[in-house]
Structure 1
Amino acid sequence: MLIKPVEEMLLRNADHYLIPADIVANVQTDNNLYHAFLVLTKIKYSRIPVLDHAGHFEGLVSLPLITEKMLGFDQLNTDILMQCRVSEVMDTDIKTVQSVGDVEETLHLMVDNPFVPVVDSANMFEGIITRREFMKSFNFLTHEIGRQYDMIEKDFSNSSIAK
């Protein structure tokens, strides 16, 4: 559990965390892999959200997932790009959050992910929280917390933290 001063300071900029769905590059489940390949290549992101036609979050797709599908025994099969759909290769085991205010869960998920999808209670895609935006607030916190809260310095030289 986060200590209150840290959580409060991280929440101060919570309105800047969310990159809204309407400006996040995405593909749909029934798009062919060629389309997904082009989108990923042009925007230079490693993974992008996959949505259904109604805007529900379904998973993520990446260039490695597409490339894996193209690999044959002795050559790359590029014809598969037009034949297969994003739904056939996308990763559906993706953790999401329902609020930018869920700071602790978001922090845990960002350890291994450059962004965290945000969905509402009906799984409608609302956008993403990027590690970059979150780190800006964390940087602010590390510089400001001592100015805004009385902090007592402790000697950690004999603790497991120092080792």
Structure 2
Amino acid sequence: MRSLDELAKTVGKTMTARDLTLATSESLTGGLLGAVITSVPGSSAYYLGGAVAYATAMKARLSGVERGILATYGVVSEQTVTEMAMGIQVLTGADWAIAVSGVAGPDPQEGTPPVKCGSASSARGSARWIRPSSRTASSSTVTGRPSASRPSRPAWNCCWP
């Protein structure tokens, strides 16, 4: 499996070669996904920026998720995360947008069990769910950053389309 740095560089090379731009909308990861992307020199050529909508209300205000979607499907659902990706794409004008949301735990949120995570790409309209083992592992699994409770092997294959 490739390292996180290698994957971030590959994304950067692909975006640059195809003259594409990228934006992110994050909840569970609290800005770590944007940090991973911007750790690559030259990322300002393709990464437009992102929003961190950690609180539920911010998903509607910052990420453009319709309140009806939140009420019907919940904070961590394919519908909500896809709306987050589409919302940040519209806001920034990016060619690609990636969104991540989840419940880090230890307590459930709005009936959603902890350590449930979802990601979506508005360019592909896809979502995939992963179930890391702990609060720290949830955000580190998405970003590939090691935590004390998880080995350093990144799981971007779960969250990056």
Structure whose CA Rg is larger: 1
Tell whether the structures are fold-level matches, with TM greater than 0.5: no
Q: Normalized against structure 2, the TM-score is what?
A: 0.21
Q: Normalized against structure 1, the TM-score is what?
A: 0.21
